[in-house]
Amino acid sequence: MTSLSIFSKKKCNPRVRYEHQISLPEITASGQKQLQSARVAIIGVGGLGSIAAELLVRMGVGALDLYDDDHIVESNLQRQTLFNEEDIGQKKVSVLARELQKINSGVTITPHDVLITEDSITQVDAPFLLDCVDNVRTRLIINEYCHKHNIPWIHMATAGTTGTVFVPGEVCFNCIYALKEELGDCTKSGILPTTNHITVSHGIIELFKLIAGKEPVRTMLRINTWSHNISHLAVKRNPLCNVCKKKYDYF
Ligand SMILES: [Zn+2]
């Protein structure tokens, strides 16, 4: 699918538009410039991905590649804030790209009506990736693909009132989730909309650090939005992890 550059780009002064970010010592003009030059792939544009996309577009990311083959259904409206009742039945990537482009015409947005599998993930060529999917199998595919091609990525997940953010590096996703058959579909445990927003907010900060060449938090962040409890779980490399030994199941 082609990018939506058909939208006329309004004249925008980045120094004005992003002044409240640039003034942050954590961002600065140089970090903003790096963000505006960055291309990010978002895998899954539902409860996590659509929120992540909105934040990145508002912050002025350079380009976004959106991957999902789902249609919008009524139950999405509870938490997927850029979709409305008129969008039910339409493709998520198409509606999201349209709404994002209205927010910031300066971002290059490319919707891909694609279900990410071990075959289709080879289409993803962005230098940064956000895992916003809802199942472990796709996460394991993302983990292997990013490990093999050395692509920095952020894992985000929610279940009930708990959100998780993890930046794989020395420790990969498979190191932690080796007992994958014990993990089910997180959508079955219910979803509190605020959990998605808080989880994505933390994930986007870690993504910015990767883009700006700063060291991300390497513990696994667990956020309980009901109790307001935030934990940093220490993670360590699993010596039995095949992915870390470059023995891939999917590639
Ligand atoms: Zn590993």
Per-position DSSP letters for 26-55, written without gaps between them: TTHHHHHHHHHT-EEEEE--STTHHHHHHH
Estimate the share of the chain in helix, then strand, then coil, as percent rounded to the nearest 5.
40, 20, 40
Residue 231's domain is classified under what CATH number? 3.40.50.720
Q: Is residue 251 domain-resident?
A: no
Separation of 104 CA from ligand 1 center, angstroms?
38
Q: Is residue 155 domain-resident?
A: yes
Q: Is residue 214 domain-resident?
A: yes
Separation of 176 CA from ligand 1 center, angstroms?
7
145: amino acid identity, one letter: Y
Per annotation, catalytic residue among 172, 186, 241, 244? 186
Distance CA(103)–CA(17), nearest Å, equals 12
Q: What is the pLDDT of residues 137-188, one digit of tens each?
A: 999 999 999 999 999 999 999 998 999 999 999 999 999 986 554 444 555 6
Q: Is residue 8 domain-resident?
A: no
Separation of 205 CA from ligand 1 center, angstroms?
23
pTM for this one?
0.93
Distance CA(203)–CA(109), nearest Å, equals 20
Q: Is residue 59 domain-resident?
A: yes
Separation of 196 CA from ligand 1 center, angstroms?
26
Distance CA(167)–CA(203), nearest Å, equals 9
186 is a catalytic site residue: yes
Q: What is the pLDDT along the chain (251 residues), one digit of tens a residue?
A: 555 544 456 667 888 999 999 999 999 999 999 999 999 999 999 999 999 999 999 999 999 999 999 999 999 999 999 999 999 999 999 999 999 999 999 999 999 999 999 999 999 999 999 999 999 999 999 999 999 999 999 999 999 899 999 999 999 999 998 655 444 455 567 889 999 999 999 999 999 999 999 999 999 999 999 999 999 999 999 999 999 999 999 99
Q: How many CB atoms lie within 10 A of CB 21?
A: 19
> How many domains, in total, are found in the chain?
1
Angle, CA 187 vertex, CA 96 and CA 121 arms, to 5°:
55
**29-53 residues labelled b (16+ CB within 10 A) or e (exposed):** eebbbbbbebbbbbbbbbbbbbbbb
Q: Is residue 146 domain-resident?
A: yes
pLDDT of residue 9: 60
Q: Is residue 1 domain-resident?
A: no
Question: What is the extent of the structural domain holding 149?
Answer: 14-245
pLDDT of residue 187: 58
Distance CA(19)–CA(14), nearest Å, equals 8
Q: Is residue 183 domain-resident?
A: yes
